[in-house]
Structure 1
Amino acid sequence: MGRHRRSTIVWALALGAPDANEGLQRWLYNGLRLAIVTARLPAGSVLPGTRTLAKQYGIARGTVAAAYERLHSEGYLVTRTGSGTRVSTTLPDSKPQIPPAQTPQATHERDISRECRAPWIHRLSQCDPPFPLATANALPQPFLPHRGDIRLFPVDLWRQLHVRQLGPSRLLTLNDTSPGGLPALRCAIAGHLAIARGVHVSPEQIVVVGSVQQALDLCMRLLTAPGDAVWMEDPGYMGARQIMHASGAHVVDVPVDCEGLRVEDGVREAPAAALAYVSASRHAPLGVPLSARRRAALLEWATQSGAIVFEDDYDSEYCSRSGPLPALRSLPGADSRVVLAGAFNKVMFPSLRLAYAVLPPQLVEPFVRAASLTARSANGLTQAVLAEFLGDGHFDQHVRRIRKIYAARASAFEHAAQKYWQDLIDVASVSGLDVVGRLRSFDEHTAVQKLKAAGIDAAPLGRYTHRHTQRPALVMGFAPFSEEEIDRAAQRFAAALHETVTTVE
């Protein structure tokens, strides 16, 4: 039996000003009737009493009572003793008259004409969004990549910290927050980066933002003009490419191999580029780190050309089984040339929506101004809770715990691949949150469609490439799934692809 739906109680309803030639009673009747038949006032809604509505609009109570009485006699309202006046659940057969100028078609035509003059909208329409525009609050199904396991997060502890921040002595956290971020959180992030990423930086050079996407967007606005060349990893993170494209920059696709970004190719194709995007610790999605030789070459080019390197600290907590590599930003000379951006969402939970940007000194003031203008500030209460979560060591404890769990799941994934997929797909050594598996005998589109029909999610590697094609492959995640879930899904995966091979033969 479903839950009983509570009735909507209407406290205020904007009806617009009455026409000079229209009586107040008729104006109120027409306004309420239109609201009812267009479902602005849902069936069963409880309307204000006549005295309340008369006071709200500054009209006589008798005027309201007369309008209510007419709507009641026509079947739009019902009145029951003790439950007030409500919108009838069964309405007369009538439809509202909407003026032609307000029809959806007319509005749509106006929007189309405006689109023609809006380059940003045009650029956005040329590519699929990197994130779903509508998502359900559901757990992912195997083997959806780029996800952690939210079931492992210490929700009870987070709730306790939240309640503590709402105590009487800490209510100032409900006030506005500096656009640069809560000082306590900036200090906590600085301490974390010094230990975990080898980056020693003043808290004043750290700005708290909503996402790495936002940090890159602000850097593109501040550092590039339409037509400027920017380097982008190919294959690479599609969200970064689309921000570059939407900004009007000339995106230069720089290939990636087993050592990461091919810096020499970027220098040859666009030596005067204004910005270079790189996931140096663990490439997204291939998983390779940027080699020491290429790190040095990248910094040398940026120093000589005056460019900024945007370092996306993607998956750094899980970048290799031997432990995380120091960030590119930690190298000598990187302080003035590298923006390091990272987020806590994958380690903790996606809806946290807190990230940070470590900025060169000359970029701090304009970046903070831009953040203030475009987003005001990230959620101050959540920042305060995260500062305590970091400062008290809970974050490090959580990371150590889930590293062990994800390592066991990575081993389970490797074992399942060897057991079920040897003649179908080649899987490299597993690390991070996901892995690339090279398809042996069929194309990505066919594989993805067959797997989807079997209830398996995987992303085609072609989604991440633009100019430099790769051998057909799938990007697969294992972190959100237990070892048993991985094994069962691997068997369904094998059955679906074996059916594909049999069909092709």
Structure 2
Amino acid sequence: MKRKAGAILSSIRIDRTGNKKIGVQLYMALRDLILSGGLAGAERLPASRTLASELGVSRTTVIDALDRLVSEGLLEARVGAGTFVSSTIRNKVRLPKVQVKPETSTSCRLSDIATQAARHFAPRDRLPDKSAAFVTGLPALDKFPMAQWSRISARHWRSDRDALMGYGNPFGLPALRAAIAAHLNASRGIQCDPDQVFIVSGAQQAFALIARLLLNQGDKTWFENPGAIGARNAFTAAGADLVPVEIDDEGLVVEDGLSKEPDFRLAFVTPSHQQPLGKVMSLSRRLALLQAAEQANAYVIEDDYDGDFYFGNQPLPTLKSIDTSHRVIYVGTFSKTLFPSLRLGFLLAPPALVEPLKTICTSSLSGSPTWAQAAVADFINEGFFATHIRTMRTLYRQRHSELHIHSGLVAPYLDIQHASAGFHTVGFLKHPLEEQRLVDEAARAGIVLSAIGKYCLTPLSARGVVIGYGSCGTQTIRNAMKTLSSVVGELV
């Protein structure tokens, strides 16, 4: 195996007009890099011939400087391996901290939209990267079929480099767009042309793209209250005027939206599994929402973030599948069905928006990574995706059941709701306890909860927490419920 060539030392500057000898300059520059942490302990330096060529000095000059540093113990010469920064100084030097003074409001001028949006952004916790009880939004990464995925990925990395490593199609890889269209038809009852499918870097980019396409500053946008924080911030960033619409057991209360703002421009809903309350929008409400959108000449964003994981009775048809007026923009993500770091999602546009979206994508987007799209396309076409979805439906049903088996431990304090899809539910507080206090105390005990209040545009009378069970094994759920019982018991 070819050895690493060593660090690139382009920051070293040799002054050939000064009085200081070149060898001394090189010695002092290398010494400063080592002592400041610019060269880490045990890091390999370039070969003397390479360093001499890159700096434009003689090899003898380089060897003299290196030998001096070796004699001082800052470098180690290993026969047949090269020259390395001494391992004895590993972790004993630190890069200097650079003090950055924040810009004042008078010296940093932002756009009006950015200034206004900053005042209305909802605080958003760092998205989870580790499985734990009871994080939300994270699928069961331990059950992902890594063997099949690795084989497919490796196959593509051995394929045509031009097709894999160049700039991809800004609308998405045609093979993946076709695979998604076929999947939506078979699993969600949505008939569409692959030309309507646009690949994006996650659902969040889809929301931002739609907002850029459709919204002017101040446009009225119906938004579920409580609702998804990421989408909320995307529309806020575009200058939308968000109208909080109530949620009940049938989902979005269309009459509430009409009473507050009948002339809306856009509506955002999560009908298959409301985020965060977990309600499923009834068919009558879906039809009422479509009718309201048609009357207002508005569009509806259907965020179907975990609709593939429906484990209740027969799922209701998607909004998109019953949309006869072409008002629904359907958004999906592979962050939940596969894994979040893939950073792939898609939107399905109504026919009238296809060409405008193509114009925006061509003009301002470079497309998502081609290799990932190619791998996902094969993962779908070869049947692994469907198998994985079925497996995860069963798993999430089991983990949901496990949560409720042990819900009696917290029953005096929390009313944990039954879910019919996805991998989170909510627990409503039965005592006059502050949501955030419970969240904070649970965090100290190693349990991650989210307060319902942080999802709200306007306050709710009900108080509670969001409980994720997708990334927790059964034993983890049992232990966490016992811990949570102790935590909340001490607070009430």
- Whether the TM-score (by the shorter chain) exceeds 0.5 is yes
The residue correspondences of 1:184-263 to structure 2 (distance < 5 A) are 184-263=175-254
Give the AA of the match of 1:428.
Q
The CA deviation at 1:168 is 4.7
Q: Deviations over 1:261-285 (max 9, x none)?
A: 2223323333333321111222111
More displaced stretch, 213-222 vs 355-364: 355-364
The CA deviation at 1:18 is 4.0
Q: Distance in 1 between matches of 2:419 and 2:246?
A: 22
Q: Pick from 151, 154, 161: which aligns with 1:163?
A: 154
Q: Deviations over 1:218-260 (max 9, x none)?
A: 1111211233222221100111111122222222222222222
Which residue does the alignment assign to 2:26?
Answer: 28
Which residue does the alignment assign to 2:413?
Answer: 424
Q: Distance in 2 between matches of 1:229 and 1:491?
A: 45
Q: Counterpart of 1:295 in 2: which secondary structure?
A: helix
1:139 aligns with 2:131: yes
Which residue does the alignment assign to 2:319?
Answer: 328
1:309 aligns with 2:300: yes
Q: Distance in 1 between matches of 2:25 and 2:47?
A: 18
Q: Deviations over 1:57-108 (max 9, x none)?
A: 22233433444455456654454655544434568xxx99x9xxxx934x43
Change in Cα spacing, 1:131 to 1:46, as seen in structure 2 (3 Å) is: same
The residue correspondences of 1:387-426 to structure 2 (distance < 5 A) are 387-417=377-407, 419-426=408-415
Give the AA of the match of 1:14.
S
Which residue does the alignment assign to 1:346?
Answer: 336
Which residue does the alignment assign to 1:179?
Answer: 170
Q: Distance in 1 between matches of 2:323 and 2:240?
A: 29
Give the count of matched residue pairs. 483
Give the AA of the match of 2:43.
S
More displaced stretch, 205-214 vs 267-276: 267-276
Give the AA of the match of 1:40.
G
Give the AA of the match of 1:165.
H
Unaligned runs of 5+ in 2: none
Change in Cα spacing, 1:121 to 1:20, as seen in structure 2 (3 Å) is: farther
Q: Pick from 7, 13, 16: which aligns with 2:9?
A: 13
Q: Distance in 1 between matches of 2:348 and 2:159?
A: 33
Question: In the alignment, is the contact (CA less than 8 A) between 1:129 and 1:239 conserved in 2?
Answer: no
The CA RMSD over aligned residues, in Å, is 3.1
Q: Distance in 2 between matches of 1:63 and 1:111?
A: 49
Q: Counterpart of 1:54 in 2: which secondary structure?
A: helix
The CA deviation at 1:456 is 2.3
Q: Pick from 52, 55, 58: which aligns with 1:54?
A: 52
Question: In the alignment, is the contact (CA less than 8 A) between 1:318 and 1:324 conserved in 2?
Answer: no
Question: In the alignment, is the contact (CA less than 8 A) between 2:116 and 2:239 conserved in 1?
Answer: no
The residue correspondences of 1:332-481 to structure 2 (distance < 5 A) are 332-335=323-326, 337-372=327-362, 374-417=364-407, 419-432=408-421, 433-441=423-431, 442-481=433-472
Give the AA of the match of 1:464.
Y
Question: In the alignment, is the contact (CA less than 8 A) between 1:444 and 1:473 conserved in 2?
Answer: yes
Q: Distance in 2 between matches of 1:33 and 1:425?
A: 62
Q: Distance in 1 between matches of 2:70 and 2:116?
A: 51
Question: In the alignment, is the contact (CA less than 8 A) between 1:434 and 1:479 conserved in 2?
Answer: yes
Q: Deviations over 1:3-26 (max 9, x none)?
A: xxxx98624211255446425445
Question: In the alignment, is the contact (CA less than 8 A) between 1:448 and 1:457 conserved in 2?
Answer: yes
Question: In the alignment, is the contact (CA less than 8 A) between 2:202 and 2:334 conserved in 1?
Answer: no
Question: In the alignment, is the contact (CA less than 8 A) between 1:280 and 1:289 conserved in 2?
Answer: yes
Q: Percent identity?
A: 34
Question: In the alignment, is the contact (CA less than 8 A) between 2:252 and 2:281 conserved in 1?
Answer: yes
Question: In the alignment, is the contact (CA less than 8 A) between 2:122 and 2:232 conserved in 1?
Answer: no
Change in Cα spacing, 1:459 to 1:227, as seen in structure 2 (3 Å) is: same
The residue correspondences of 1:65-104 to structure 2 (distance < 5 A) are 65-68=63-66, 71=69, 76-79=74-77, 81-88=79-86, 104=98
Change in Cα spacing, 1:286 to 1:27, as seen in structure 2 (3 Å) is: same
The CA deviation at 1:438 is 1.0
Q: Counterpart of 1:271 in 2: which secondary structure?
A: coil
Q: Distance in 1 between matches of 2:363 and 2:104?
A: 26
Q: Counterpart of 2:221 in 1: which secondary structure?
A: strand
Q: Distance in 1 between matches of 2:120 and 2:109?
A: 14
The CA deviation at 1:211 is 0.7
Which residue does the alignment assign to 2:101?
Answer: 108
The CA deviation at 1:311 is 1.1
The CA deviation at 1:363 is 2.0
Question: In the alignment, is the contact (CA less than 8 A) between 1:444 and 1:474 conserved in 2?
Answer: yes
Q: Deviations over 1:91-139 (max 9, x none)?
A: 8xxx99x9xxxx934x434587654535637845864653517x65x32
Q: Deviations over 1:174-213 (max 9, x none)?
A: 4432111111111111111112111100000001112110
The CA deviation at 1:494 is 1.7
Give the AA of the match of 1:354.
L
Change in Cα spacing, 1:68 to 1:455, as seen in structure 2 (3 Å) is: closer
Question: In the alignment, is the contact (CA less than 8 A) between 1:311 and 1:339 conserved in 2?
Answer: yes
Change in Cα spacing, 1:270 to 1:171, as seen in structure 2 (3 Å) is: same
Change in Cα spacing, 1:158 to 1:87, as seen in structure 2 (3 Å) is: closer
Tell me the TM-score normalized by structure 2. 0.88
Q: Deviations over 1:282-301 (max 9, x none)?
A: 21111112232332232223
The residue correspondences of 1:116-155 to structure 2 (distance < 5 A) are 116-117=109-110, 120=114, 123-124=117-118, 127=121, 130-132=124-126, 138-140=130-132, 142-155=133-146
Q: Distance in 1 between matches of 2:39 and 2:440?
A: 44
Question: In the alignment, is the contact (CA less than 8 A) between 2:329 and 2:349 conserved in 1?
Answer: yes
Q: Distance in 2 between matches of 1:139 and 1:429?
A: 22
Q: Distance in 1 between matches of 2:333 and 2:187?
A: 14
Unaligned runs of 5+ in 1: 1-6
